[in-house]
Amino acid sequence: MSKELLQKQADTIRFLAADMVQEANSGHPGAPMGLADIATVLSKHLNINPANEKWLNRDRLVFSGGHATGLVYSLLHLWGFDVSISDIKKFRQLNSKTPGHPEYGHTKGIEITTGPLGQGIANAVGFAAAAKYAQNLLGKDVINHKVYCLCGDGDLQEGISYEATASAGHLKLDNLVIIYDSNSITIEGDTNLAWSENVKKRFQAIDFEVLEIDGHNFEAIDKALVAAKSSTQPVLIIAKTTIAKGAIKLEGTAASHGSPLGEQEIREAKIKAGFNPDEKFYVSPEVKGAFDKLIIGSTLENAWNDSLSGEVKKKIAELQNPDFDKIVYPTFEDGKSVATRDSNHKILNAIAGSIPGFLGGSADLAPSNKTELKDMGNFPNGRNIHFGIKEHAMASMVNAMNLYGLFRVFSATFFVFSDYLKPSARIAALSNIPHHFVWTHDSIGVGEDGPTHQPIEHLSQFRAMPNFYVFRPADANENVESWKVALKMNSPSAFVCSRQGLQVLKDEKAYGNVSNGGYLLKQRENANITIMASGSEVMLALQTACALEKNGINANIVSVPCFDLLLEQDKSYIEKIIDKNTRVYAVEAARGLEYYKYADIVFGMDSFGASGKDKDLFNEFGFTIEKLQAKIEEDFKNNK
């Protein structure tokens, strides 16, 4: 490697990033300038193909820190992705290819939307885990790429980073290389204001190989990357860097972290580096040629494709194109009491039996979530992933596993613990990741564990999230139909399942309308009220309707397995299932405020739960036939 050319390459990155932020008058110049030397050398080691960003055996590079966005777009342009200088000039502008933080699916070459700090590390662990499983399925000669992650001090201060890297060490993910941009600067100043841990010892304790280098020494960077590629452990490279390297007055200062450097500072820096100070966004042909990956990337991919046997190509095609229509779903006997977590267990196993790329696991709750895939082994050799008690890392890892290119992966925990993983669920929704969340113990029906374990606001919270589909099935059959819908959606979905048994409903003819989110389960002539409900409250609504009928109140029952899908239906469909001439009630053993979109009155939870048997709790909070009947009759009488 010519040191002179490497320096030109690194300085080109620095000034592209600085010009980008200056032009936008917004952004983070410090991290891209500090990482420019590492990025330049890493580029020499990276096997990617800009002509095909989905090449299966490409190296994955995850940028965990959003404050390195200027570096990301500079590299994508230099490598040959569809990011032009014109796009770079529109950094952080509306409808540009270069938004303030990189978004998967929006800009070619972005492997995943990392979002909040720390998530990218967990994403990288997820990619590496998926690659390790793929390697076990297809062979080391087929899958042998690396997963690289660039992270900073902020990423490692977030708890999710420890959760995820501990899993990486446990799984012995020797295909993972994390490069830590250790510049000791955060927004408030030096990291010693709030942080004094020994990162090296932390990672050594979780079975990482740790290398320490000067992050501005090209030879040292190269040697570390060569060593990392042959390691038998996951690797952390601690690279000591200077934030805003190359700047004149702001080098090494917190002021360079999240604000433009200023025109004069950039001019002086360019002069010092031998660049024309009057030229912005400059890339010399020599530098572009040194970075460009189009020719070598296509050559690498073609050679890889030629090396695959017909049998391997067939396996890959089957994994990449699952036939969800061939799944043989379980059947359930009318009238039987089956908890939806139990029916879900049978459904998960039916899917896994037909779809070879379907796998997943729980945050140490598989026996309670009922998520074990029977006789399918333990990850990374089998399909049961044991995440440990790490909800946030689990969800972020599974996001990446679903984007790896071969697998459909689910995660699971108690519904109340979805609080721990909401940032990852939000990223899944933002990025159209078909991540299936299995959340059991859905309401005060959890019982004796008490209010700390009883979800109240959670249904409303996730129903409010755009592009996130919450299924709360009323019984086993509705659960089956919900899965049929969710598997074909290019969005995340959650299955909120009961701990207690729910009677299998007799009338199955309407289940096909689950794709509409809600449907008319029972229709009565001369109905004067409509009752909407989901999950365990659907049977309560049916039984209450029978009691009301004896007193001259005729109720239509609308089951709402997916409120989010119901919101997408047009007015004509809503009027078909919700008679506008009826008074509309909704009943849900949770907050339920979203039902006011359609309902006149919502009978939900106005407080947290309590510790006691589920039947006692439903009685205490008004979810019995007698109490619901009395509330409806009183309201109906007063609002005739």
Q: Where are the beta strands (DSSP E) in 331-378?
A: 337-338, 358-362
Residue type, 599: A
H/E element holding 550?
A: none
Q: Collapse the DSSP code of 337 into the 3-class scheme (helix H, G, I; strand E, B; otherwise coil) and give the result.
A: strand
Question: What is each CA distance from 435 to 114, 263, 388, in whole angstroms?
Answer: 15, 45, 19
DSSP 329: -
- The alpha helices in 66-158, defined as continuous H runs, are 69-79, 85-89, 119-138, 153-157
Whether 81 contacts 108, CB under 8 Å: yes
The 3 state secondary structure assigned to 180-233 is EEECCEECCEEHHHCCCCCHHHHHHHCCCEEEEEECCCHHHHHHHHHHHHCCCC
Residue 80 gets the label, from left (phi > 0), alpha (psi -120 to 50) or beta, of left
Whether the CB-CB separation of 628 and 539 falls below 8 Å is answered with no
Separation in Å, CA 507 to CA 9, 240, 520, 523: 68, 66, 11, 12
Question: From the centroid of its chain, how far is CA 257?
Answer: 27
Q: Is 243 exposed, middle or buried (0-12, 13-18, 19+ CB in 10 A)?
A: buried
Q: How far is CA 513 from CA 17, 81, 147, 479, 489, in A?
A: 51, 43, 43, 13, 15
Q: Are strands 502-503 and 60-63 parallel, antiparallel or unpaired?
A: unpaired
Q: For the chain, give the number of residues.
A: 640
Q: Indicate the residue type of 217.
A: N
**Going by DSSP bridges, is the β-strand pair 384-386/408-414 parallel, antiparallel, or unpaired?**
unpaired
Separation between Cα atoms, residue 359 and residue 433, nearest integer Å: 15
Would you give the distance in Å from CA 494 to the centre of its chain?
Answer: 12
| Active-site hit among 391, 478, 481, 537 | 391
Amino acid identity at 317 = A
Cβ atoms of 150 and 38 within 8 Å: the answer is yes
CB distance 407 to 80 below 8 Å: no
* 145, two tokens: 């790429």
CB atoms within 10 A of CB 451: 15
> Annotated catalytic, 391?
yes
Catalytic annotation, residues: 391
